[in-house]
Amino acid sequence: PDAPEEYLKKDDLLDCIRKMPAQFDGFRVLDGEIDKFICVARKAGDDWFIGSLTNREARTITIDLSFLPENKKYEATLYEDVEDSHFLDNKESYKIRKQLVDSNTKLNIKMGAGGGNAIYIKDVSSED
């Protein structure tokens, strides 16, 4: 959804936006190629927010989470394109999934043409 009122109809996506703070503690570019795609991470406290965008070409990228502190556990909530996502005829298709991650994790992310993804990474080390 590209209009603010459309986000209100998709509460699961709005939940990701609600978690984002107004200020961040750090920023890093994880991967990218000019005019092709970008993947960036922003840190807020012990949590991370990752966002990726691609041009009109579908692609798969690998996000290396080695920047996370060692010996900590995280829960990643991934908001990502589905197999047939496309900016022309299926631009609002997405899925949400969760998985445990740590500094050794590498995430393979498929992005549809003109698509992208968002990942919220929450520190769950103290929840054990």
pLDDT tens sequence across 8-46:
677 676 677 778 777 889 999 999 999 999 999 999 999
Question: What is this structure's pTM?
Answer: 0.87
- The larger pLDDT score, comparing residue 90 to residue 48, is at 48
Nearest to 31 by CA among 126, 128, 106: 106
> To the nearest whole number, what is the mean pLDDT of the chain?
89
The share of the chain scoring above pLDDT 70, in percent, equals: 90
d(CA 54, CA 41): 15
Q: Determine if residue 6 is left, alpha or beta; phi over 0 gives left, psi from -120 to 50 gives alpha, anything else beta.
A: alpha
As its CATH architecture, domain 4-127 has: Sandwich (2.60)
Give residue limits of the domains in the chain: 4-127
Q: Give the model's pLDDT for residue 13.
A: 67
Least confident of 20-24, 53-57, 66-70: 20-24
Q: Say if residue 108's pLDDT is above 60.
A: yes
Residue 90, pLDDT score: 76
128 confidence band (pLDDT: 50, 70, 90):
low
What is the band of 5 on the pLDDT scale with cuts at 50, 70, 90? Answer: confident
